[in-house]
A and B are shown apart, each in its own frame.
Chain A
């Protein structure tokens, strides 16, 4: 912290245009959130007021929200997204850390092969697997099921790699001491190792959840029944239906975006640190 502060102090000395820079950065930031501001403002406007381009709605109304929740399956889609993303995130947190731990803290023949094989899956783009996954889903009747939406993402090479990196940082003595005390291997992992990598685990969980919440192409393919749509697929289905009712579409976009924004506002420091963590280790 002191480092940073003194570097800033040093740079401030040679930076007379600092106020200009600050103003430009601030204005840039305002431009960045303009689309979101207009999206939110329009969701409170009436249909005729959409043509009035002001940011503050003249007669704020909740009519659009009531309309969306009554006339479309939006609530259902939100629950679908929530359920699929939660299920998938729990699975990733469990399995990626278990595999990461096993690869970091056990020694056995074939270890390197397993690690390289899992790592190599990072090279395979999702798009390449989509056709075989679709064939598989048709074969086993997974089309239009939650399992069908979630199964491709239940474990990830990236998460495994990330968790392995963090578990490698734990001292071996800790694990050996627990072994001598007669702890089972599973208990050592879940009760001793896991609590020590909570920051990495939560970063992984947040990003996996966000990735699932916004995932589009696979849910689009594996669902035909509007009851099983996730939020992005449902939103895309508005193409045509509410094409020109911009206030309705903006309300739906708001409902899709606000949950993640709220989570961000609550966990801001945590999330930013998570991005740095994932970016530097990955």
Chain B
């Protein structure tokens, strides 16, 4: 067994370190430990989060196809985007996903949570039925819904519609229905999460509020309007913001449900993120794509700021 004997230089350095360390106060030692714990994470956040954020702004000022030379063109990318008719259509689509999807899912989720909170029999089981879709993979479920939307011999929904006397619908193939047909599975999958959060919110309301209302002889509707809903304001704000951001970033469903992931027919279902993906990774216009991501960032930032502002106004 050979012992490793450090060189004199190393031994000296070690002693220097020990004497330095022993001279420190306990608070200084703790501060050094803290920075030691944070060293790797700080490197990660700087390299993987902050630097790329600034790089995205920088790339948005370039004309660049990934292989050729980078050419600085200032704000030309933004000018081109705003002059592009397709961009405005895509922006409108994106806001349609959020503007229609969020109210529908919040209304459904609240109604389900409100009544689910009152039933005892099979409570956990029924809650699980609503929650399970939240655990699915969007791409897998896109296939299932795409199959449901098929025309007559295969599609369940059209089979159901025709059997109750409603004509078969084109769904994904229609410029009017496509967007809503893609929104449906997104609402479906997100509902369970919102239901659970609403139930948690409803249960956090102090019981004394209800007792006071009962003594005052308030009816069910009045209790809902004057106690339950106002008390749920933070929950509603939280869910509105989270699901708005979710719908504004919709991508998986659209990419998987439209033909070749094109956001068709005629771009009527294409959201912003799909447009970013196409510019960056199909056409290799990285500058233009980066400028679009900056626009998305600004939109989401405004929404987050709005949330903070709403929360602050709460007494």
Which residue numbers of B lie inside 8 Å of A, CB to CB? 27, 30-31, 33-35, 37-38, 40-42, 44-45, 48-53, 55-56, 59, 66, 112, 115-116, 118-122, 124, 126-133, 135-141, 143-145, 147-148, 153-154, 156, 159, 185, 188, 191-193, 196-197, 199-200, 203-204, 207, 210, 214, 220, 238, 245, 249, 251-252, 255-256, 260-261, 273, 276-277, 280-281, 286, 289-290, 293-294, 296-297, 300-301, 304
Q: In the complex, what distance in Å separates the CA atom of A36 from the CA atom of B133?
A: 8
Given A261-B132, A279-B200; 15 other pairs, CB 8 A cutoff? A4-B203, A32-B132, A53-B156, A98-B41, A99-B38, A106-B33, A128-B297, A131-B293, A132-B53, A132-B59, A133-B48, A152-B48, A253-B143, A264-B132, A280-B200
- Contact partners of B148 in chain A: CB under 8 A: 35, 38
Closest residue of B by beta carbon distance from A50: B154
Known: A129-B49, A132-B55. A25 touches B154 (CB 8 A): no
- Contact partners of A6 in chain B: CB under 8 A: 207
The reply to whether A276 and B45 form a contact with Cβ atoms under 8 Å apart is no
The reply to whether A32 and B56 form a contact with Cβ atoms under 8 Å apart is no
- Contact partners of A129 in chain B: CB under 8 A: 48-49, 52-53, 56
Q: In the complex, what distance in Å separates the CA atom of A121 from the CA atom of B54?
A: 12
The reply to whether B301 and A123 form a contact with Cβ atoms under 8 Å apart is yes
- Contact partners of A128 in chain B: CB under 8 A: 52-53, 56, 293-294, 296-297
Cβ-neighbour of B122 out of A26, A152, A260 (below 8 A):
A26
**A225 within 8 Å of B (CB atoms):** no
Most B-side CB within 10 Å, residue of A53, A132, A246: A132
Cβ-neighbour of B135 out of A12, A130, A246, A264 (below 8 A):
A264
Interface of chain A, main secondary structure: helix
Q: In the complex, what distance in Å separates the CA atom of A101 from the CA atom of B200?
A: 26
The reply to whether A131 and B139 form a contact with Cβ atoms under 8 Å apart is no
Least CB distance, B166 to chain A, in whole angstroms: 17
- Contact partners of A32 in chain B: CB under 8 A: 129-130, 132-133, 188, 191-192
> Range of interface residues on chain A?
35 or more
Identify 19 residue pairs between A and B in the complex whose beta-carbon atoms are under 8 Å apart, listed by A's number: A32-B130, A35-B188, A36-B132, A38-B156, A98-B37, A102-B38, A106-B31, A117-B45, A124-B297, A128-B294, A132-B59, A186-B37, A231-B137, A232-B139, A235-B140, A250-B147, A257-B141, A261-B135, A279-B196
